[in-house]
Structure 1
Amino acid sequence: MSDLYDRSAASKILDDALHGADDGELYVETARSESFVFDDGRLKSAAFDTGKGFGLRVVSGETTGFAHASELTDAAIRRAADAASAAKQGRQGTLASPPAPVNSRLYADVDPTAAPDFAAKTSLLAEIDAWCRAQDSRVVQVSVSLAGSRAEIEIMRQGGAIVSEARPLVRLNVSITMEQYGRRESGGAGAGGRAAYEEWIQPARWKALAQRAMKKAAVNLESIPAPAGEMPVVLGPGWPAVLLHEAVGHGLEGDFNRKGSSIYSGKIGEQVAAKGVTVVDDGTIQDRRGSLSFDDEGTQTQRNVLIEDGILKGYMQDRMNARLMGVEPTGNGRRESYACSPMPRMTNTFMTGGNHDPEEMIKSVKRGIWAVDFGGGQVDITNGQFVFQCTEAYMIEDGKVGAPVKNATLIGHGPTVLQHISMIGNDFALDDGVGTCGKAGQSLPVGVGQPSLKIDAITVGGAG
């Protein structure tokens, strides 16, 4: 990145722009990414993209001035500085101290787009397709996707202080459609993280993903209409924590709470969940999809306990919201790219484990649902109401797992669901590295995790 722009000139421009401001930085990014989709027995698409640019931000009070460009020149940086400086509007603030330097790195500096080569990657997708079709005559459709990227980040603050790193990211997804007696059902599985492709494209790894996708499709072929009504639900470990992410996590982001729009605003120190419930956001887990050595403002990520034994302990903060709320930033200032201004966002958000055996949870349910896997969901931050679609779920009847059910949706209120957790499993797991979170038009890689959980009462939407 050193040959892309004159750091000395940029430092002077930035210092002038930050004079009288409360905060701000120059964020420079160069990135390359690729994606492959093998669908219906052929390579459907292959894309490769590169880009570079910067975003310059000036923060004054609650006002943010932000400008960006894909042209890394002194002239472009100066124009951006002039535009962003308008946020000060003559106000004289006190420039905040920069984050402490970060020396440790949570992932290797590798470039997934460089190796293996194009032929090897496309051959792998064809091999996965052929293998899946050979396993079961009911397989009628296979879709395999592979994606990788490397972003080189450099954050400059007043006085020319710089922190930089390279961030790799890969993901492999397999989707299977099966047909039986004229009925078609699908299932999918994926995995990834911040590393080279090697771990995820080993035969043992991709075959396990493909088998899981086929199992889901096969199970769904036998599914019956989901029941409807309020009933106990047992959530599986790992990815089902996406419900926690949406129903609880967003409501604990600092901006919503500073503005008073979150259901959790002003409730620090209060009981907001059942005893035993501890929720953590941790951006420091090695090689995880949601991890960062430092956030997009240069603050080192950390393990933030949000809820401890049911008590609300704190929120996820970027620098601006932390300053305005009189607390320390937590390493949660994130942005999609140089063209976006940072905001408080989750990294890897999870509920810690308990001491109940998952089988014990199933046995305790007279009639309910065992929800193993989830698709998409929606939440209203202001009131905590959410709706989630189950992609793999089963009836529980008289303490035993029964028939798989189709089109089950979980409908509820985040804070109420947290209060209704009565059993916490001893089988904690993180997801496989497939999460993407959207907020205010920005999409970011995230992680989730949890043990199995028993929720005593939640509304299940189904066929009745």
Structure 2
Amino acid sequence: MGWTRRPCATFRKVAIPATAKRGILERGCSSVAGLPISSGMTATDPRSLLYATDKLSPDEARAIAAETLKGCDDGELYLQFAASESFAFDDGRLKLADYSRDPGFGLRGVTGEMTGFAHANEISTAAIRRAGETLRLLDPAKGKPAAPPRRSNRHLYTDASPLDAVSFEKKVALLERIDAAARARDPRVKQVTASLAASWSVVEIVRADGFVATDIRPLVRLNVGIVVEKDGRRETGNFGLGGRYLYDRIMGEETWNRCIDEALAQALVNLDSVDAPAGEMTVLLGPGWPGILLHEAIGHGLEGDFNRKGTSAFSGRLGERVAAPGVTVVDDGSLIDRRGSLSIDDEGTPTEETVLIEDGILKGYMQDRLNARLMGVKPTGNGRRESYEHAPMPRMTNTFMRAGQDDPAELLSRVKNGIFAKSFGGGQVDIVSGKFVFSCTEAYKIQDGKLGAPIKGATLIGDGPTVLTKVAGIGHDFALDEGVGTCGKGGQTVPAGVGQPSLLVDGLTVGGTA
């Protein structure tokens, strides 16, 4: 969703050489994924993908974590097995069918502000001990080790793997049906791209104090892109959805037909679009996905690392008014089945609802364990990492603005001259200043309180802290996005969710083509 500087004060990151990333299916053992199952486990236990008798047992993992992390303030052994697949149907044929499995671990030790981190794609006692040599370069801890996360048995999504529930043939057949149905919708359709993706990850967090937490994470996504042409002019439309559930939620005929309808409607609207106006004007933002502006414009600025270092536009402003009355912003990783949700974060902390701004007053920041400890506050379950190859950092989960009391139609009627931004393609933000730039993928002129012609080439320009003070109306039509967001920060990408009600903002700069 955006770019930022890497916030972690990483002392050293080393990729430990391992034997070849063995194709787990190449080994001839009769067991889960071809691995000899560790003692005390069954073939159906997902943790058997992390532990093997000849490599590492759960008891050995706890012992090695205690051994290698001794003398650290904090840290963990992060074990992960991830399987993923993706399919792309383009130009009337299957263009991509990709499948991968990736086991590995990351070992992190923290003392003060220093982090030592190493990872390898082989889960074994030997590899973890080699990784532990990196942590010897850390300064010795001066205080007591940090307390472990609180325990939780909450499960926000199924343990089942979406990859195994539907055959390869059915997945390809679905994309073929989408392609054919989309082309039959309208003679102006010239190109259709349909993609399907899923992942399934088993993670276990092992700490030196004996704390162990396991999470099993499914994720699926369906996306449809359509190109239409009229009188030599081509325009595109896109729509997708997904979440932490199985394929059955997105493979139903009603669901994928909706994806086609939404993508086609956007493409046809853009086919009739005119050049966007430019200048400072009132902007009405639609509900749901336009919350990406909120995510970028202020969300990153409310993450703990930037505020601990004093580099955010919101640093040192707790208790101050930073937004117009009525503006309440929360980050909530505990929503059932949502793309940005996690039962526990990547440090083992249960996710929760964190109120960031309440009725315009700054109430808190999103925290991982390191920055929470250094700021003297509690972690909020926002310690996230892309994979075992990365150290965790404070990241958003599902970040949104709560509903207000205004009728969206009444908000539209207030606008004499402005634009309605229904959908965005993405954006960028500078964390220090809060300045952002967003491109609209579907937008309309507003004249005398009524929607006018669709426009193309519109960008929204501003800075997060200022925009929050210019909110003039908050609709009662709150919606979350459809489950397609991916957030980038510090070289890592993670799935994330956004949302908001209709939002009226006075005096936002629009960069147009007119």
Q: Normalising to structure 1: TM-score of the pair?
A: 0.99
Whether 1:364 and 2:414 are equivalent positions in the alignment is yes
- Partner residue in 1 for 2:503: 453
**Which residue identity lines up with residue 20 of structure 1 in the other structure?**
G
Instruction: Give 2:475's match in structure 1, choosing from 403, 422, 425.
Output: 425
Once the two structures are aligned, what percentage of the paired residues are identical?
A: 60
Instruction: Give 1:92's match in structure 2, choosing from 142, 149, 168.
Output: 142
Q: 1:378 Cα shift?
A: 0.7
- Partner residue in 1 for 2:91: 40
Separation in 2, partners of 1:175, 1:399: 31
- Partner residue in 2 for 1:160: 210
Separation in 1, partners of 2:450, 2:213: 54
Separation in 2, partners of 1:50, 1:10: 21
SS at match of 2:476: coil
Q: Is the 8 A contact 1:141 1:176 kept in 2?
A: yes
Q: Is the 8 A contact 2:401 2:499 kept in 1?
A: yes
C-alpha deviations, 1:169-189, integer Å up to 9, x for none? 000000000000110000000
- Partner residue in 2 for 1:184: 234
- Partner residue in 1 for 2:356: 306
- Partner residue in 2 for 1:332: 382
- Partner residue in 2 for 1:282: 332
Q: Is the 8 A contact 1:307 1:314 kept in 2?
A: yes
Separation in 2, partners of 1:28, 1:375: 34
Instruction: Give 2:489's match in structure 1, choosing from 424, 439, 444.
Output: 439
Whether 1:204 and 2:254 are equivalent positions in the alignment is yes
- Partner residue in 2 for 1:53: 104
Instruction: Give 2:78's match in structure 1, choosing from 8, 23, 27.
Output: 27
Q: Is the 8 A contact 1:60 1:93 kept in 2?
A: no
Moved more, 170-179 or 90-99: 90-99
Q: 1:9 Cα shift?
A: 2.2
Separation in 1, partners of 2:92, 2:390: 38
Q: 1:105 Cα shift?
A: 0.4
- Partner residue in 2 for 1:376: 426
Q: 1:91 Cα shift?
A: 4.1
Q: Is the 8 A contact 2:62 2:208 kept in 1?
A: yes
- Partner residue in 1 for 2:13: none
**Which residue identity lines up with residue 428 of structure 2 in the other structure?**
Q
Instruction: Give 1:416's match in structure 2, choosing from 462, 466, 491.
Output: 466
Separation in 1, partners of 2:76, 2:487: 24
**Which residue identity lines up with residue 374 of structure 1 in the other structure?**
F
- Partner residue in 1 for 2:191: 141
**Which residue identity lines up with residue 247 of structure 1 in the other structure?**
A
Separation in 2, partners of 1:298, 1:122: 37
Separation in 2, partners of 1:121, 1:10: 38
SS at match of 1:131: helix
Instruction: Give 1:70's match in structure 2, choosing from 115, 121, 135.
Output: 121
**Which residue identity lines up with residue 79 of structure 1 in the other structure?**
R
Q: Is the 8 A contact 1:20 1:94 kept in 2?
A: no
- Partner residue in 1 for 2:319: 269
Q: Is the 8 A contact 2:383 2:392 kept in 1?
A: yes
Instruction: Give 1:13's match in structure 2, choosing from 41, 48, 64.
Output: 64
Whether 1:225 and 2:225 are equivalent positions in the alignment is no
Q: Give runs of aligned pairs for residues 392-407 of structure 1, distance below 5 A.
A: 392-407=442-457
Separation in 2, partners of 1:36, 1:385: 36
Instruction: Give 1:194's match in structure 2, choosing from 237, 241, 244.
Output: 244
1:316/1:29 CA distance change after superposition, 3 Å:
same
Instruction: Give 1:259's match in structure 2, choosing from 291, 309, 319.
Output: 309
Q: Which runs of 5+ in 1 are unaligned?
A: none
Q: 1:84 Cα shift?
A: 2.2
Separation in 1, partners of 2:221, 2:199: 9
**Which residue identity lines up with residue 94 of structure 2 in the other structure?**
L
SS at match of 2:256: helix
Moved more, 235-244 or 353-362: 353-362
Q: 1:337 Cα shift?
A: 0.3
Q: Is the 8 A contact 2:88 2:95 kept in 1?
A: yes
Whether 1:170 and 2:220 are equivalent positions in the alignment is yes
C-alpha deviations, 1:48-95, integer Å up to 9, x for none? 0001000011100000011111111111011111212322x2443321
Q: Is the 8 A contact 1:233 1:370 kept in 2?
A: yes
SS at match of 1:374: strand
Separation in 2, partners of 1:387, 1:117: 42
SS at match of 2:254: helix
SS at match of 2:419: strand
Q: Is the 8 A contact 2:82 2:201 kept in 1?
A: yes
Separation in 1, partners of 2:129, 2:485: 37
Q: Is the 8 A contact 1:185 1:221 kept in 2?
A: yes
Separation in 1, partners of 2:471, 2:241: 28
Q: Is the 8 A contact 2:70 2:208 kept in 1?
A: no
C-alpha deviations, 1:168-225, integer Å up to 9, x for none? 0000000000000110000000000000010111010110111000000000000000
Q: Is the 8 A contact 1:223 1:406 kept in 2?
A: yes
Q: Is the 8 A contact 2:461 2:508 kept in 1?
A: yes
SS at match of 1:263: coil
C-alpha deviations, 1:337-374, integer Å up to 9, x for none? 00100000000000000111111111101100000000
SS at match of 1:133: helix
SS at match of 1:418: helix
Whether 1:355 and 2:405 are equivalent positions in the alignment is yes
**Which residue identity lines up with residue 24 of structure 1 in the other structure?**
G
Q: 1:400 Cα shift?
A: 0.5
Q: Normalising to structure 2: TM-score of the pair?
A: 0.89
Structure 1 outlier segments of 4+, above 6 Å: none
SS at match of 1:99: coil
SS at match of 1:16: helix
Instruction: Give 2:287's match in structure 1, choosing from 234, 237, 256.
Output: 237
- Partner residue in 1 for 2:7: none
